[in-house]
Structure 1
């Protein structure tokens, strides 16, 4: 859509429908980071908050003449809201957003609570469901244990298998990269569930608290993901996409990517907390206390107020490189990496005016993918151009 406005509207609305979790992932930016805002937030989103959010989304749709929006139910663990309450939230969201726009409901879960009753509700509202799983049980349980320090793997796999029984509901799998795990083993295990998409995320880190490495002189995360790329290409029997890698392919070919962790396109997502507070990038909780706080809520302000909030102005500069560190502005790979994900650029000395803590990893991975594309006869695009 070509907008008559100079800034990018939100297309994805992430609702924190539950602010508690039944497992205790040690890398979780909500519960195990410096910012402990969850302690003062409601355990679940009320119907009143959902109604206000729906009204604000409807206003945004009309203002920007949007044809489709994505409403993502998130947490914590969203299934802790319970089927009846989550059904009430889905109802008011569906009824409150104008019928002239296509609403895509999505949900991200750890999978351990999925049941046939949940699947019935998801079918009723056409909710597609992604599940977080870091790999085989030993790999998954390095970080994703219950509060009693027990494995969560078997329960998650049971939930995934239930979702597979209704494939139209299964959106894919999300895994966090861990250098201690074998990348090919992780990829092939996740692929065995036949997900449409596998998302790999890098552990959150900043220049003040960098991610763990075995050898700081080696781009280990880039090497790890390069091995995933090779495994992905080597097994054509799998029909899934690997989102990070597909984005690198698209961006290297001159097209736009699909996630805000790569590329220069302005992010188009916004977060609504369980109390109705509006946040831009909730993963900034991994940076410092209050980094994600805007002082806005759906009862008193529109999403347009969030677009114009000083903390989010860098997002509107995303079509270029003005918000990036000078090193990034000069880099030939900037159109693909986009300077890296915003939380990963932070330092207490320079704020977000730094290359990503994964700069060398992203460079290694991008060059690996681009080399593969060139060997297969793909033409790399110029920055900012599009391909059909």
Structure 2
């Protein structure tokens, strides 16, 4: 049964509460992706960061994490090791980082560990380390060789695909589950991309819309501050995959689609483009600075700086800073522009990902620059889901038909 397979089990997993934190244990990267918000989108503050996080900072991070979980009555803290490239850290030192965290959290708080890596540095030794410590592993890959190597290049301008595949194969040899993070390239064939990722034997994929805003719009769409536009290249790309994915008997997990279906069936979640829940995610830089989501770096130099640091400041105190408070509550209706407040699909998208709303002239008082894409995506997905439901009262349910996309846009922008 489609609904049981796609929704019920994943929904139970999704509602397990934890505090999430992106830990920048390395501030540099061994590759140089063209679209990277850390290094190539206008914020050079990484140059002021130490290359690696010290164990003293790790200890204070763990202490503050435990305090915050206790305050929030949450029993798990998710440490997402990131960069830069976290595997630039030596294995022995990485083990000390994990041991320090465990020492200061157990037994009251359970630490969950994940690594987001470009996979070019993975060896058998790293695979042993990952498996021994039960670390979830996410790998960045945009598609096949031609698609991936268009943007994911090294510092000499060479593509990284072959090295990534080598790393994936090492992990698979050690029976380690692999998740993929893939930035959408609308010039690629979405079905070919999806089939290629399935061919690699991955467990899940998270398709990401590129980080752009009104000051730096994607070349694929026209825009102005009247917001409304007819072209929807990102929705069109994703929906070609959705049509295949939704009808598959044993699909791979695609978070964007799964979360959409959960929200349509009454759940609420915290995700960049979906839901209206609070965003309980912190970013910790290598020097211990506490910041909001790092994609906000596309908004300008030092934009994410808060003058709060885990070596001196609690997470609770950091949430009171304007930029972190804005991010945490960015899905609240009172944080939205007029267009989003009256939009029929607001309860689904929550106004979209906050960095995508930014314009230097009026801050975040705008719909997402991808608003038209989101409207088309969610109306289509919801309509597809409702067509599959065997509910007697279905005809009485309020939902947006994909045929009404244009009228939805008129409702929002007129």
* TM-score, structure 1 as length reference: 0.91
Correspondence list, 1:51-130, <5 A: 51-130=59-138
1:291 to 269, 292, 303: 303
- Asked if the contact 1:247–1:258 (Cα under 8 Å) also holds between the matched residues in 2, the reply is no
Q: CA deviation at 1:378?
A: 6.3
Once the two structures are superposed, the pairs formed by residues 221-300 of structure 1 within 5 Å of their partners are 221-237=234-250, 239-300=251-312
Task: Select 1:326's aligned residue among 338, 345, 350.
Answer: 338
Q: How does 1:138-149 map to 2 (within 5 A)?
A: 138-149=146-157
Shift of 1:318: 5.0
Greater strand fraction, Structure 1 or Structure 2: 1
- Contact 1:253/1:382 (8 A) holds in 2: no
What is the CA–CA distance in structure 1 between the aligned matches of 2:82 and 2:147, rounded to whole Å?
24
> Where does residue 176 of structure 1 map in the other structure?
183
Aligned to 2:198: 191
Distance 1:236 1:176 in 2: 25
Question: Is there any run of 5+ residues in structure 1 with no aligned partner, and where?
Answer: 1-8, 384-388
Contact 2:270 / 2:279 at 8 angstroms: preserved in 1? no
Cα separation, 2, equivalents of 1:184 and 1:20:
33
- Whole-Å separation in 1 of the counterparts to 2:368 and 2:290: 25
Q: Is the 8 A contact 1:260 1:266 kept in 2?
A: no
SS at match of 1:343: helix
Question: Could you say if the C-alpha distance between residues 372 and 200 of structure 1 is closer, same or farther in structure 2, counting changes exceeding 3 Å?
Answer: same
Please tell me whether the aligned partners of residues 19 and 44 of structure 1 are also in contact (alpha carbons under 8 angstroms). Answer: yes
Alignment counterpart, residue 20 of structure 1, candidates 25, 28, 44: 28
Q: Distance in 2 between matches of 1:286 and 1:345?
A: 11
Residues 1:378 and 1:20: Cα distance change in structure 2 (over 3 Å): farther
> CA-to-partner distance for each residue in 1:267-289, whole Å, 9 max, x for gaps?
01101100111101111111111
Instruction: Spell out, residue by residue over 1:196-228, the C-alpha distance to the aligned partner (whole angstroms, 9 max, x if none).
Output: 221010111111111121676411111111112
Residue 359 of structure 1 and its aligned partner are, at CA, apart by 0.1
Q: Distance in 2 between matches of 1:11 and 1:107?
A: 16
- Equivalent residues of 2:23, 2:285 under 8 A apart: yes
Aligned match of 1:135? 143
Q: Is the partner of 1:32 in helix, strand or coil?
A: coil
Aligned length: 373
**8 Å Cα contact 1:172/1:195 also seen in 2:** yes
CA distance in 2 between counterparts of 1:173 and 1:382 reads 35
Select 1:210's aligned residue among 209, 213, 217: 217
Give unmatched runs, 5+ long, in structure 2: 1-16, 223-228, 400-414
What do the CA deviations read for 1:217-265 (whole angstroms, capped 9, x no partner)? 411111111112112234434x311111111111122112352332110
1:314-353, CA deviations, whole angstroms, 9 ceiling, x for partnerless residues? 3454564110111101001011111010000001122111
What is residue 6 of structure 1 aligned with on the other side?
Answer: none
Larger displacement relative to structure 2 (205-214 or 264-273):
205-214
Moved more, 28-37 or 119-128: 119-128
Question: Residue by residue, what CA displacement relative to the aligned partner does 1:120-158 show, whole Å, maximum 9, x if unpaired?
Answer: 111222111000000000000010011111120011011
